Structure 1
Amino acid sequence: MEGAMKRIVIAAAAVAWAANVWAESVRWESNYDDALRKAKQEKKLVMVDVYTDWCGWCKKLDRDVYTDRQVVEKLNKNFIAVKINPERSATGKKLAKEFGVRGYPNIIFLDATGKKLHQQPGYRPAPAFCEVLDEVVRKAGQ
């Protein structure tokens, strides 16, 4: 009986941990146009992460910043987030050209109509990234 109880406790802990991890991740949209539509519906801003597969700083951003609890909370509360690779997507290539992207990562913040509010080239650690998110929200008046 003791072994069965131990397995139940371990299983419950694993489920709670998995639910917590899932709840703490950025909700990414996969399509730019869908992100704009969703932003209009939910009255949110849009964050476009322009990245490439070979970019080390992009991977560090994914690993260290987009997993930070404060960053995740701020993004999910105020933004529709979308990742775009200009080397794999015609939309990404068009956006990179339109916004003058010359290096990666390059984060572009837009209102729900697609108007640029701020552009953040390069990597920022989580605390500095949170400051950028707060500033964009203030600037947008949300």
Structure 2
Amino acid sequence: MKQSAFGFLLFWAFSLVWAQSPFVLTGLKSYTPVVAIESGKVDKKIKPMILEEMERISKELGIDTKSDTSRAFAFDIKRISVGETIAIKVDLMVSENLQRPQEREQLFVLSYADTHVFVPEDLEEDLMDAVDEMLAKFASQYEEDNSKTLTVKSASEHIPFATKMHYETDYKKALGKAKKEQKLLMVFMSTNYCPWCRKLENRVLSREDIDKDIKAQFVPLMLNFSEKNFPSQFNDIAITPVLYILDPQTEKIENTFVGYNNHESFLQFLKQVAGHARKQ
């Protein structure tokens, strides 16, 4: 993602404003997620992707998004330009309209705000990067502000991805299945509050073409590093997400994919693994 001088200055200016007037998220229990896209250059199909991420992070934080509330948790996305420079401005806000006692006038109250400006190279990829970074920043502040009262979701909260994609979640069971089907075992190691893990899930592993390749070559297994219910050979990871390709007969790690990368890179990794397997 490339950032213009204009974008950098604008981002710096907004950051300075918010640094001088910090928002506090203590006691924030409910809101309605909203995405407003004010540019025809931004594909509208990205809206449900952003809403899904907002719902996911809200669920992890224990924030209610289903109740009827006047409070909005909103992304506002627009294209801006100065001279020949075209940029995308992304605002994330928590806001609501409040009625003053004994008055008809309503007040617009802003309880959180963050802004990101960038000059896109790959618009969809860069925009989702900005969204993920801003949501991670929001979640981090929410956790800090509510540290005394926040109930952290258990590691099993991420099991829905494994369920949706039909991944195994038990190491011994997956190992036995891989032996029976004569496939390699793919171990996807994740953690709680890991935006790069969610990004790998939503942008790469959920793709139909990639999922088809995975199921053809491997028995996929999803584990949460926080639970430690796996062999000790997986204890030395320094970063998540990480994927291990194991020979189920020897339980030896044959290949490793570390961190997040785009789907083209992951497809290349799958081809590399397939080529290595054919040589054996």
* TM bucket, shorter chain: 0.7 to 0.9
What corresponds to 1:62 in structure 2?
A: 201
Deviation at residue 90 of structure 1 after TM alignment: 2.9
> Over aligned residues, Cα RMSD in angstroms?
1.6
Asked if 1:96 is matched to 2:234, the reply is yes
Runs of 4+ in 1 over 2 A off after TM superposition: none
What corresponds to 2:161 in structure 1?
A: none
The aligned length equals 115
Which structure exhibits the higher relative contact order, with contacts defined as CA atoms closer than 8 Å and separated by 6 or more residues?
Answer: 1
Partners of 1:47 and 1:54 lie apart in 2 by: 22
Native 8 Å contact 1:26 1:76 kept in 2: no
Superposition map of 1:21-100 within 5 A: 26-91=165-230, 94-97=232-235, 100=236
Alignment-mate amino acid for residue 115 of structure 1: K
Once the two structures are superposed, residues 34-84 of structure 1 have per-residue CA deviations (whole angstroms, 9 ceiling, x without a partner) of: 111111111111110111011110000111111112111100111000111
2:244 to 86, 103, 108: 108
Give the strand-richer structure, 1 or 2: 2
Q: What runs of 5+ residues in structure 2 fail to find an aligned partner?
A: 1-163
Partners of 1:34 and 1:138 lie apart in 2 by: 26
Q: What is the percentage of aligned positions where both structures have the same residue?
A: 27
**Bigger radius of gyration, 1 or 2?**
2
Partners of 1:74 and 1:95 lie apart in 2 by: 26
Q: What runs of 5+ residues in structure 1 fail to find an aligned partner?
A: 1-24
